[in-house]
Amino acid sequence: PWIVLKAVLTLVPEWQTPERLFFHSHTEDSRLLAYYSVLCGFREEHLSLATRTSLRQHELHYRGERETQHTGLQSLLQCAIDNQHIWYKSTTFSTENSDGKYISPFHDIPLYADEAKNIFHAVVEVPRWTNAKMEIATKDPMNPLKQDMKKGNLRYVCNVFPHKGYIWNYGAIPQTWEDPGHKDGDTGCCGDNDPIDICDIGNKVCTRGEVIRVKVLGTLALIDEGETDWKVIVINVEDPEAEDFNDIDDVRRLKPGYLEATVDWFKMYKVPDGKPENQFAFNSEFKNRDFAIKTIKDTHRYWQALIMNTTEAGELNCMNTCVTDSPFICTCSDAKAIIDSADAYGDPEPIPSSADKWYYYSK
């Protein structure tokens, strides 16, 4: 079948680049089982993705299926008693690595899905309409996705009327880093020490931990407690409307009110916690696609210095299994030992009623 697939891709070149998504789901024993496989290209390789995560009343289980004989990605869930961890695993049908190897979503997932077209990978940390503050744990070995803690409790972002949860699929672009030692010439503030954030405006509500391919449209320069925190506006290339969106003005034209709501959301989301309203550079105006892509590439260069140990990492954990020239690269067995030593799977904590509360403020 791989010979047939290769022949078809050769005969139909346009099929070599777009991601192909096949989705099927059914219910069994009160669980929603979903199976999908993805075919997409990066540097002549293809990406196969899967995610397993635990939600309120049921569990979503995703099983990646091989589409090619090249490297893919698969994410696995481990849930501690007081927290969730989503670990990522690269799978390959090779005799020396038939079970795959664990990878870091921060360091090992490639920046580009298609470099020639400026299509990037993005890791979805928080699906739209949810407010559990999941994020790449940049200070933990192998950087799993896990829920942030606040005063010993799992953190949920407050709902400021009229918004409920995050109003986009929220996540980060791998192999980027907003360097806290670099003062941005445009914002006048240093980076926030995290991968660069994305807001996916597509129609699909993604799955927690999902890796998607995105087209960049623009960016907003949030100043969060004195730090530069870029929010890159993107759209999933698999969105049926993706071809209509090529720059930030297309969002303003085709989704009127969305950009204004985005500014309002980021301005107010920490106010219920007793913090002041957030500020923005550029008088709260969005910068265009070209500016955003340049910003992403800048943060990729900062990440390259980080992963090669030519800049100070501080508390960040740079353990990886795929960046061959990095002094932080580890063996597959070392990475597996990290995952095996994690807390055993336990029952998820119930979502507190406060996570559904609405907060109201005068404009």
Task: Please report, as a single letter, which amino acid is at residue 129.
Answer: W
Regions of the chain where pLDDT drops below 70: 1-84, 90-99, 345
pLDDT for 340 = 86
Distances in whole angstroms, Cα of residue 268 to Cα of each of 8, 125, 126: 51, 20, 18
Distance (Å, whole) CA 125 – CA 165: 13
Both tokens of 29, joined, read 């024993």
Distances in whole angstroms, Cα of residue 316 to Cα of each of 47, 138, 180, 189, 260: 27, 6, 12, 20, 34
Residues 6+ apart with CB under 8 A from 172: 122, 123, 125, 135, 136, 194, 195, 196, 197, 198
pLDDT for 87 = 81
Let me know if 261 is exposed, middle or buried by CB neighbors in 10 A (0-12, 13-18, 19+).
middle
Distance (Å, whole) CA 104 – CA 42: 18
Q: For residue 259, what is the DSSP state?
A: H
Task: Please report, as a single letter, which amino acid is at residue 100.
Answer: G
The number of beta carbons lying within 10 Å of the beta carbon of residue 253 is 11
pLDDT for 345 = 67
Distance (Å, whole) CA 49 – CA 38: 6
Over the range 191-208, which residues count as b (16 or more CB within 10 Å of their CB) and which as e? bbbbbbbbbbbbebebbb
pLDDT for 89 = 78
Distance (Å, whole) CA 178 – CA 227: 10
Its pTM stands at 0.78
**∠ CA 218-221-223 to the nearest 5 degrees?**
160
